[in-house]
Every structure is written in C-alpha cells, then in structure tokens.
Amino acid sequence: MQGWSNILHKIFLVAIFFILIFSFFNIFLNVEICKANDENILYVGGTGIGNYSTIQDAIDNSLNNGTIYVYNGTYYENIVINKSINLVGLDKKSTFIKGDGSLFIILIKSSWVNITRFTIENGRVGVYITGPDYSYNNIIDNTILGNWEGIRLQNSSNNKLCNNIINDNANFGIVLYESNNNLITTNTFIDDYMAIFLGRWSDKNVISGNNFTGNIFGINLEYSFNNLIHNNFIANGTRGISLSSSKDNNATNNIIKNNDNSGIYLSNSDENIILPNTFSNNYQDIKKGSKPPVIKTPGFEILFVICAILFVFILKKKTFKLLL
C-alpha cells in the first residue's frame, strides 16, 4: 500500500508540474497576442506617447488590416490609403478632414478599407475609389459636404456606401462610372445638385432606403442597366428619378413627391419597371422625353443601284485599259 501511495503522489506532482507549465505558456501566449493587437492599433491627435499628428503618417506606419483611431479635431490633409485598414473617427460631428480644393480628400487605392465617423469637406472629390482591383470598401456613417463631388467610384465594384449624410455638394453627391454591384443604402442627401449619378455601364447596383430632400436631381442613370432603385424617399427637387438610354432597371416602391418637373423622367428608356411607386404633388408623375431621330439605313433597292453603278464604272475602266 505504501508503494502505491508513493506512485500516486509522484503522478500527482507530475500533473501539477505540467498544469503549471501549460498555465505559464498560456499567459505568455495571451500577452504576445495582446501585444500584437496593440501594435495593430494606431492613434491620431491624442496627447499620449505613440500618437501621430497626421492621419497620413499613421496610415503609412500601420500594418495591413490595422485600425487607426482619430481623435476629435480638424485635419487639413489629402490622404492616400493603399492598404486594408479601418479608419475610425471618434465622432463625425467633431472629427473633420478638410481638403484644400485639390482633386481628392481621401483617395482609396486598396480593397477592404473601412471609413467611418468623419466629416469630409472642401475637396474636388471627398472620397475617391478608383481601379478594378480595389473593391469591398465600406464608407459608413460619415458626413460628406461642401465638395464638388461627395463620393466617386471609378471602375470599382462591390462597395458599400451606407448611412452617410451627403450634403451641399456642388455637382454630384455620389457618382459611379463603370462600377457594378455596389450597395447605396440609408444615406441622406440634402441640397446636392445631382444626388446620385450612375454613368456609363454602372450595372447591378442597389439604391435602397435613401432619403433625398431638396436636390435638383435625385437619382440619374445614363447608359446603365439592371439596377434596383426601391424604397427611397425623394422630395422637393426638380426631377426625382431620371433614366436616359438605360434599360432593364427596376424603380419601384419609392415615395416621390413635390418635384417641380417630374417624378420619373424617361429618355430613350422604355424597357424598365417603374411601377408601383407612390406619387404626390409632382408637376408630372411620369414624363417621357422625345426620342432621338431614327436614321434609316438605305433600302435594298438603293444598295442594288449603287452596286450596279460601281460595277459598270469598274468594267468600263478595265475595258479602256485593254483598248490601250
């Protein structure tokens, strides 16, 4: 019995030893993970050690997939983002990024970039995403105002533009060119010249749940196809929705009211679903513009006469050469 007792005691001591080793290893591992996570978070505008004074410096020194927290303040910068990061302002009502009137305030040349809780103002373009390799970016919960264009997507797809206030931009609130499968939802557009413009082969985008008030033009499509426009509120503008040379779009279940010219304007765009919508107090609920003139191709008879004349001319030319 004494031998068994000694064996059990030794087994117990060995078990305790391994438990302690595992515990120390686990604590060390967690410390290293926390340390790594801390290194992947940078701060801008604070007073402590390790804070950056400019957003661009923090971006340049951040790791891929890192997070940059920006404290309240006004940052006069033109920012280039060329890696996947989370750029987070403390409060969009008091965290400002102001441009100097140059081409862009924030230029995104990467995928998987998240920008949230900023006021972005006084640029040619507030947020500019360009390039077929740059997609899956999220611009969420910002105020974008006083720019020539608020957000521009150029040949960029699968982005989300959500819950932003887009106000008083001189040309476009949001503009897309050759950009597909983007989600534009729950934004508020106020006093922009043209709130949303889809131009030149911007297809399969979803524009849903947005509020448009006091814009000259609400949603405009030109040479764009298979887009979904639904559940939007569009009021107090000139034209609510305008489709030009665009087809296979679905514009339904929108509330369109108090527009001085038309609720929905169609120009060379007959093959779209535009009902049901709720119309109220528009000068004209649905208006169709004049179709471009049809240029008729020559008929078979004219072509036959032209070919016959050419044949006789060629035959005469060859005969004249033979006689010489």
pLDDT tens, position by position, 60-70: 999 999 999 99
- The answer as to whether 216 is a domain residue is yes
Contact 238, 216 (CB under 8 A): yes
3-class secondary-structure state, position 296: coil
Contact 250, 230 (CB under 8 A): yes
The tally of domains found in the chain comes to 2
- Compute the average pLDDT of residues 41-56: 92
The answer on 284 and 159 residing in a single domain is yes
Contact 105, 147 (CB under 8 A): yes
The answer on 11 and 112 residing in a single domain is no
Residue 49 confidence class, pLDDT cut points 50, 70, 90: confident
Predicted confidence (pLDDT) per residue in 23-34, tens digit: 444 433 333 333
Contact 135, 159 (CB under 8 A): yes
The answer on 114 and 23 residing in a single domain is no
Contact 35, 53 (CB under 8 A): no
- The answer as to whether 320 is a domain residue is no
205/183 Cα distance (integer angstroms): 6
Contact 161, 187 (CB under 8 A): yes
Does residue 244 surpass a pLDDT of 50? yes
Contact 217, 235 (CB under 8 A): no
The answer on 81 and 20 residing in a single domain is no
- The answer as to whether 300 is a domain residue is no
Q: Which residue has the higher pLDDT, 189 or 17?
A: 189
- The answer as to whether 251 is a domain residue is yes
Q: Which residue has the higher pLDDT, 241 or 49?
A: 241
Whether omega before 292 lies within 30 degrees of 0, making that bond cis, reads no
Residue with tokens 């965290």, as numbered in its chain: 95
Q: What is the pLDDT of residue 72?
A: 97
- The answer as to whether 246 is a domain residue is yes
Q: Is 73 left (phi over 0), alpha (psi -120 to 50) or beta?
A: left
The answer on 59 and 35 residing in a single domain is no
The answer on 93 and 14 residing in a single domain is no
Q: What is the mean pLDDT of the chain?
A: 86
Residue 55 confidence class, pLDDT cut points 50, 70, 90: very high
9/121 Cα distance (integer angstroms): 73
Determine the structural domain holding residue 33 and report its residue range.
1-39
Contact 62, 84 (CB under 8 A): no
The answer on 33 and 164 residing in a single domain is no
The answer on 135 and 31 residing in a single domain is no
Tokens for 249? Answer: 């779009």
Continuous H helices in 40-142: 55-61
Predicted confidence (pLDDT) per residue in 277-318, tens digit: 999 999 999 999 866 544 444 444 455 555 555 655 555 555
Does residue 71 surpass a pLDDT of 80? yes
Dihedral sign (CA 39, 42, 46, 51): positive
The answer on 234 and 149 residing in a single domain is yes
Q: Residue 185: beta bridge partners? A: 162, 208
The answer on 167 and 131 residing in a single domain is yes
- The answer as to whether 311 is a domain residue is no
The answer on 222 and 110 residing in a single domain is yes
Show Cβ contacts of residue 19 under 8 Å, excluding neighbours closer than 6 positions: none
- The answer as to whether 305 is a domain residue is no
Continuous H helices in the chain: 2-39, 55-61, 300-323
Predicted confidence (pLDDT) per residue in 155-180, tens digit: 999 999 999 999 999 999 999 999 99
The answer on 78 and 216 residing in a single domain is yes
CATH code: domain of residue 266: 2.160.20.10
- Residue length of the chain: 324
- The answer as to whether 306 is a domain residue is no
297/133 Cα distance (integer angstroms): 42
